Chains A and B, each alone.
Chain A
Amino acid sequence: MTTNGVIQLLLFFGLILLATKPMGAYMARVFGGERTFLSPVLRPIERLFYRLFGIKEDEDMKWTTYAFAMLMFSLVGGLLSYGLLRLQGFLPFNPQHFTGAQMTPDLSFNTAMSFTTNTNWQSYVPEAVVSYFSNMVSLAIHNWMSAATGIAVAIALTRGFARRSAAGIGNFWVDMTRGTLYVLLPICLICSLVLVQQGSPQNFAPYTQATTVEGGSQSIGQGPVASQESIKMLGTNGGGFFNANSSHPYENPTPLANLAEMFSIFLIGAGLTYTFGKMVGNTRQGWAIFAAMALMFLGGLGVCYWSEARGNPNVANLGVMTQATAGQPGGNMEGKETRFGIANSALFATVTTDASCGAVNSMHDSYTPLGGAIPLINMMCDETIFGGVGAGLFGMLMYVIIAVFIAGLMVGRTPEYVGKKIEKFEVRMAILAVLILFANVVCWTALASNVKFPPGATSQTFSDSQRTQEAAFLQANPAATWNRVNGSNPSNYYGATYNNVNNSGPHGFSEILYMYTSSTANNGSAFAGITANTPYYNATGGLAMLVGRFLMMIPLLALAGSLAAKKVVPASGGTLATDSTTFAVLLALIVLIIGALEYFPALALGPFVEHLKMLGGSLL
């Protein structure tokens, strides 16, 4: 670890700390329906939308209506994306002439669900199969809508705590419109201009064919990159315009662009903690949640940076210099961009997995075992560390319910939070949401570690000259297609689903575990060592994302409805202070302890045993 690196990490955190209050106060005004400095421009547009779509601005929805509206909106959006991806060959803005054949049904399903759920897992190479139209209409539009959905649910849950004896928790369509118009749109506009100024392209030109210095030919992908990049980060979506994501110089051209991207990932998530405090009438409550998130963020960042800066001792044992000097960064630089170095790679990896963003500026698969465990653990904390836009706040409020319940048991009183009694139904809903996420990760991981499609334990390939044998093989084993790599030539039938990983042993297991954790947490980053573009992984991954997103949101909306209907209980001498440092520490510990109880066995089989093996001189 270098002083320079630590200063950069602290500078980033300082910027987030500074931005939290103004951003949070602004969002509180927006969702409270108050006038903001953008109202003269945006209010007429907002009203026009309501008139066009027949939305009654003052109509309050019960939580069930709110949930049905959210589900219907996501279903229609998801199916629309699926159709557009399959039909991209007939649609405009497609200078590379990509077709629906490249976006197979299972890949289109995975991609459509991925973007609908704010996950943005990409089983494909975007610049090789997705047209500009698909990028802008089918995918980028979900970057906006899924982000606005997350914010809407967080605001609805906040209203549950803030309202007294109320039947409704707000209006889904109004929250969506306001979140998009007043929050996402203006900030994205600024971010896009910053990225263009820093060097990101924004055009509709066909790819440039260049001749390299060796005389070879290179196709240089481009397109409307800056606009997609800005919402990709601000909306914590993470799906890149290019396969290399934010390590690609067009997506992330300079260290300043890198800082701006990381800042925009955390901006709304951090701001919403203050919005919560403002809306419940006690900003200290919001700061306590912020403090719990910050504790976990700084702890994870410290371990990740330390582990990467320390590097792999086996490399040092070979006589390779791994200490940082003025001329080289030392540590573990495998899979990292030299432009960003170890500190900014570790910071980006921590931020992107805390926030369920999923964009990457380095390859997490190449991290040291402990360094790679941090992104995994961050996602296992259920998006609570600033989290995805909205998802961070509602994820943390889910743990707040559990924390006050446990603290209430400890002091022998009825649990209360911001004046609301926490009773059986609320605790049930919070626990249900936690267990759904946990079961979703471990069940899919266990399945993928054991399922065997034909040809079984050993994979099989067929070249062009072996098509007759391939046809006979498929006739005898039709199930083999479930784990055939889409578009592979020679045709690659992996057979057992654990054959899809690039590494054997604990690291291979981590690659599978990472995929389903990332899908469930709606993160979308990949450990990169897994070939997931097969019907089995595309279908199960898509389902994992849907469960992780919607089956978590529903109990939390039920919680919001139940809380909104309650009266406020005045604080008494026995009320646990939830706006204190003690509560912030307790909250962080509850998240970590529950996470450890759930995932320790899986982590022990993956990164932890890999770390011990590394210390013992082995990496296999």
Chain B
Amino acid sequence: MLDIFYVLITVFFFAVAAAFVRGCARLEKEE
């Protein structure tokens, strides 16, 4: 159970990081 929790935390962080990449790219395009 805890294993799944920590794997999900890891995946969640990288999903946030990927969204951050997209956010920076959108900002770049807007400017």
Instruction: Write the residues of chain A forming the contact surface with B, with a CB cutoff of 8 angstroms.
Output: 63-64, 67-68, 71-72, 74-75, 78-79, 82, 86, 104-106, 108-109, 112-113, 423-425, 428-429, 539, 542-543, 546-547, 550-551, 554-555, 557-558, 561-562
Asked whether A109 and B25 contact (CB < 8 A) given A543-B13, A546-B13, A550-B17, the answer is: no
In the complex formed, the residue of B with least CB distance to A86 is B3
Bound CA span A75–B31, Å? 30
Q: How far is the CB of B4 from chain A (nearest CB, A)?
A: 9
Let me know if A108 and B18 touch, CB within 8 A.
no
Instruction: Write the residues of chain B forming the contact surface with A, with a CB cutoff of 8 angstroms.
Output: 2-3, 5-7, 9-11, 13-14, 17-18, 20-22, 24-25, 27-28, 31
Let me know if B24 and A82 touch, CB within 8 A.
no
Asked whether A554 and B24 contact (CB < 8 A) given A68-B18, A75-B14, A546-B13, the answer is: yes
Partner of A71, one of B5, B18, B27: B18
Residue numbers in A under 8 Å from B11 (CB-CB): 75, 79
Let me know if A539 and B9 touch, CB within 8 A.
yes
Closest 7 CB pairs between A and B? Answer: A105-B2, A109-B6, A558-B24, A75-B14, A425-B31, A67-B21, A550-B17
Let me know if A64 and B10 touch, CB within 8 A.
no
Let me know if A425 and B2 touch, CB within 8 A.
no
Partner of A78, one of B3, B10, B25: B10
Bound CA span A584–B31, Å? 30
Bound CA span A106–B22, Å? 30
In the complex formed, the residue of A with least CB distance to B20 is A554
Q: How far is the CB of A323 from chain B (nearest CB, A)?
A: 52
Q: Would you give 12 A-B contacts (Cβ < 8 Å), ordered by A?
A: A64-B25, A71-B14, A71-B17, A72-B14, A75-B11, A78-B10, A82-B7, A105-B3, A423-B31, A547-B13, A551-B20, A561-B28
Asked whether A75 and B10 contact (CB < 8 A) given A64-B21, A554-B20, the answer is: yes
Bound CA span A104–B17, Å? 26
Residue numbers in B under 8 Å from A67 (CB-CB): 21
In the complex formed, the residue of B with least CB distance to A116 is B10
Bound CA span A63–B10, Å? 23
Let me know if A105 and B5 touch, CB within 8 A.
yes
Bound CA span A104–B2, Å? 9
Q: A104-B2, A425-B27, A558-B24 are in contact. List 5 more A-B contacts (CB 8 A).
A: A68-B21, A105-B5, A109-B6, A428-B27, A554-B20
Let me know if A551 and B17 touch, CB within 8 A.
yes
Q: How far is the CB of A286 from chain B (nearest CB, A)?
A: 27
Partner of A424, one of B2, B9, B22, B31: B31
